[in-house]
Amino acid sequence: MRRMVLAAAAMACFAALGQAQNLAGDWIATLRLGPAEVRVLLHIKKSSGGYEATLDGIDQALKDVPVSDVSLTASKVAFTVPSLRASYNGSLSADNEEIAGTWSQGLALPLNFRPLSASLKLTHKPARPSDIDGTWEGRLDAANGARLVFHLLNTEDGLTATVDSPDQGLKGWPVPVVTRTGSSLRLEVKQVGAVFQGVISTDRAAIDGSWGSVGKQWRLVLKRS
């Protein structure tokens, strides 16, 4: 009986060790800098030389960015992203449910990855167009105000949107939160910690509102483009 107990304990230890060393899979994290938030999706798979990986910036229209020097040594995780001049150092938890560490890209910021949940939808099937589907463009009411272009699309999961800033060379950034209540429309662009809050005109030709973050707002009138 004692041998059986010892054997079972040994098998449990080996199983736990094997689980702790499994880095392969899809991992998601949210990088926060003040009011700004950016979701990072890391794809890791085993290779003959250890691990290889790519990275997606879900909210910045970045996809399949090469990740280099992926390593796992005694639960310590490290990798670099040369094109972004970034690096990461963290620790894989014993239950293989979290990589807690620091993202370094000019600044050192805490960044904790967790396994990607199957419930997180990154793509949405189009549905019957709403009365505000389409492209809406406006210019901030400020000195040298930048142009913003929103693309609204109704899907089976509700309204979705992307945003362009032509004057800043930004195109196709997903808008993480789109909320419509009657004639009120709220677009939260968490990547820059900003919100557009507007009222849809009765003829659906304009959305009159404001853009900005806490303490700083500019008028922004969107018109169909």
pLDDT for position 143? 80
Give the residues across from 66 on adjacent strands.
54
Alpha-helix runs per DSSP H in 21-120: none
Q: Which of 75, 64, 121 is nearest to 98 (CA)?
A: 75
Give the CATH number of domain 24-115. Answer: 2.40.128.120
User: Is residue 12 classed as helix, strand or coil in its secondary structure?
Assistant: helix
pLDDT for position 61? 87
Is residue 7 predicted with pLDDT exceeding 60?
A: no
CA angle 108, 105, 52 (to 5 degrees): 110
Task: Decide: residue 34, CB within 10 A, 0-12 exposed, 13-18 middle, 19+ buried.
Answer: exposed
b/e sequence 131-145, b meaning 16+ C-beta within 10 Å: ebeeebbbbbeeeee
- pLDDT band for position 53 (50/70/90)? very high
pLDDT per residue over 160-208, tens digit each? 999 999 998 999 999 999 999 999 999 999 999 999 999 999 999 999 9
b/e sequence 80-115, b meaning 16+ C-beta within 10 Å: bbeeeebbbbbebeeebebbebebeeeeeeebebee
Answer yes or no: CATH 1.10.3720.10 is held by domain 134-224.
no
pLDDT per residue over 21-31, tens digit each? 789 999 999 99
Is residue 78 predicted with pLDDT exceeding 90?
A: yes
Query: 24-115 with 134-224: one CATH topology?
Result: yes
Instruction: Average the pLDDT over 138-148 and give the result.
Output: 91
Going from N- to C-terminal start, the domains of the chain cover: 24-115, 134-224
Q: pTM value?
A: 0.80
